[in-house]
Amino acid sequence: MSKEYREKAIKWFERSKKENDIFIKFILYYISFEILTKIRNLDKYTLNEDIEGEFFKIVDSNILENLKSILDERPLINMLKSSKVVRLNDIYDFQNILRFVNYGRNNLFHRDKSLDIERDKMVVNFGSQILEKLIESIINEK
């Protein structure tokens, strides 16, 4: 059954890459990410060292540098648990990169987010770019 789900996840992933609406792109990427982590029994907040290594090989470090700068000024708050915030200690802070994606998803799905708020657009834009490379890393992991 996991082969069938893996194929579905890859279809969601391929569909995501064609999407122009950044919110829809993020949601579709997250669906693929969720499926792939579940069928591989991966923790969404840690994944594994092989995936982490592959991710840092293929991600554009400028994306992570820009995200770090933004989060240095204003960390992302997990609106489900308002005492939890995420910022990056450095651009290789994999655990907090994963937290950023997951907090972004939590905030989008469970709180009052808007298509017109620049901060929300920023979160799903960076989240989409990160998710794309995370998914590629999971798919390509041996």
Count how many domains the chain has: 1
Confidence of residue 41 (pLDDT cuts 50, 70, 90): very high
User: In which band, very low, low, confident or very high, does the pLDDT at 8 lie, cut at 50, 70 and 90?
Assistant: very high
**Inter-residue contact 64 to 127 (CB < 8 Å):** no
Contact 124, 9 (CB under 8 A): no
DSSP state of 76: E
pLDDT digits (tens, 9 = 90+) for 111-136: 655 555 787 889 999 999 999 999 99
Spatial neighbors of 17 by CB under 8 A, at least 6 apart, are 132
pLDDT-derived band at 3 (thresholds 50, 70, 90) equals confident
Cβ 96 vs Cβ 88: under 8 Å: yes
Which domain, by its residues, includes 21? 2-140
- 121 CB-near residues (< 8 Å, 6+ apart): 22, 115
